[in-house]
Structure 1
Amino acid sequence: MGNKMIGIVGGVGSYAGLDLIRKIYDHTDARSDQEHLPVSMLSVPHTIGDRTEYLLGVTDVNPGRSIAGVITTLVSQGAEVIGIPCNTAHASSIYDVILEMSPDNCKIIHMIEEVAREIVSSGAVSKIGLLGTTGTLSSDIYKDTLAGYGIEVIYPSADIQSLFVHPAIYHHDYGIKVYSNPVITKARDDLFMAASYLSRKGAEAIILGCTEIPLALTEGAIDDVPLIDATTLLAKALIRESQAA
């Protein structure tokens, strides 16, 4: 039996989809072109509203509907395993709509659950820091998921989140959504500072819980605290499910 085609929802943000494809190839044990996994990505960002704006009530248009439409197209092209490289899209009010409106003949990988499994399997950790969009933090998706494993999730302070983390992702002059390759130094420095704050607050590891953030923080640790790249864990899960009999 051949490997299942991986479908990637692009445009959430756009470089996050490219980063996910790269990490799929980086972690696939392939010795030739033909041994790499089949991957299809559809990036139509103009059709998908901002997930954080929806969660914060700026708009009442649920982006889950458009994401489900992209998944439907990917499945029509042969995709059987789906990855959504956007942490915020996994907030229940969005993700539930995605599940409801997507075809039944595909498996959608839940990024946050994959991160939780990795944290639990890697050893005894009781306190995890989280860097992400304000939408992801407001949804408490990581906090609620990891609470089931007895793990506390700590956030940056409200000031650090609003003045440094969120602008590092969204700001029109230097945010990663605007300048993804290369990332502007200010965005990286602000995220590095926020990660150091979480380290001082007792975080034993820090989740890079926005798929833009690994484009800026590429090191494995900050202040000797390991960084957990949710995009890499999504890539590994997609490989696993693609290769499953």
Structure 2
Amino acid sequence: MAQTQRIGVVGGVGPYAGLDLVRKLFDHTRADCDQGHLPVMLLSFPDRIADRPAFLLRGAAVNPGEAIGEIMAELALTGATVIGLPCNTAHSPRILDTALARLAATGRPVRFVHMIKAVTDRARTFGEGARIGILGTEATLETRLYQDSLEEAGLVPLTPDAAGRRRVQEAISNREYGIKAQSPVSERARADLLAEAYNLVEAGARAIILGCTEIPLALPEKTLGGAALIDATDVLAVELVRAFAPDRLKD
């Protein structure tokens, strides 16, 4: 029996990130009945994927790209022709290059939609030289994933100061009140993220990239203080639909 082509989503890189991406895939699909939606496969194996910041910043030996690549390969071998990874930090070349090499070894014709590049393209719409704020994990900011990409695109990246970066990280991963530990989002996590977002607005940001797939769960607004909020997961969802079935993408 021929395999059904489908969109593949690598889950397990944030407890709700994969689910959030799938929901947004459906939100951006033009369909008038159940059968009109696109086929999607989500594989979520958090126990297999090592901690990304620990590998990038703290010298942990296990590269999470190995497990991510294995999951990508499983998606490809079961029919995925387009794959998305809803984790900004995992797009660090030290992780992603390893994962994509494992995917390429399957020999399957699969397109990987790169979240950082897609978000940068969205940021370009604010005009050359625009100031673009970034909220993300310490690992995402320390590895300059967005800063370098934005600068190459002729944009000016703005990030929180050291204390602000720690505040954002705690809002994401604190074991008592962080987004990864609590659902629904705690009041403290939202308040801390709002405070750092407003700091970026005051620094002149025309838009703010929500550069961790947990952050949009706490900041669902489209704008804040006159600045647009760019939900990286939402951008990824749009580009996955466009890559898989462009005629089915909502206007």
Pairwise TM-score range, normalised by the shorter structure: over 0.9
Gaps of 5+ in 2: none
| Matched ranges for 1:49-64 at <5 A | 49-64=50-65
Identical amino acids, percent of aligned pairs: 46
- Residue in 1 that maps onto 2:122: 118
Residue type at the aligned position of 1:23: K
Selected match of 1:214 from 203, 213, 216: 216
- Separation of aligned partners in 2, 1:21 and 1:104: 26
Partner of 2:98: 97
Change (3 A) 1:119 1:43: same
Structure 1 partner of 2:199: 197
* Corresponding residue of 2:67: 66
TM-score normalised by L of structure 2: 0.93
Deviation at 1:204, TM superposition (A): 1.2
- TM-score normalised by structure 1 residue count: 0.95
The answer for the alignment partner of 2:241 in structure 1 is 239
Change (3 A) 1:25 1:166: same
- The answer on whether the counterparts of 2:123 and 2:132 sit within 8 Å (CA) in structure 1 is no
Moved more, 142-151 or 2-11: 2-11
Name the residue aligned to 1:166. Answer: 169
Pick one of 227, 230, 245 that aligns with 2:229.
Answer: 227
SS of 1:80 mapped into structure 2: strand
**Distance across 1 between alignment mates of 2:155 and 2:96:** 23
Does 1:15 pair with 2:16?
yes
1:107 counterpart residue number: 111
Larger mean Cα displacement after TM superposition, 102-111 or 75-84:
102-111
What amino acid is the match of 1:113?
K
> Residue 176 of structure 1 aligns with which residue?
179
Q: Indicate the residue corresponding to 2:156 in structure 1.
A: 152
Per-residue CA distance 1:188-240 (angstroms, 9 max, x = gap): 00000000111111111100000000000011111111100000000001101
Task: State the shift of 1:244 in Å.
Answer: 5.1
Helix, strand or coil for the counterpart of 1:41?
A: strand
| Displacement of 1:49 | 0.9
**Which whole-Å CA distance do the structure 2 matches of 1:77 and 1:215 have between them?**
30
1:5 maps to a residue whose letter is R
1: CA distance between counterparts of 2:55 and 2:236? 23
Deviation at 1:146, TM superposition (A): 1.3
Q: Show structure 1 runs of 5+ residues with no match.
A: none
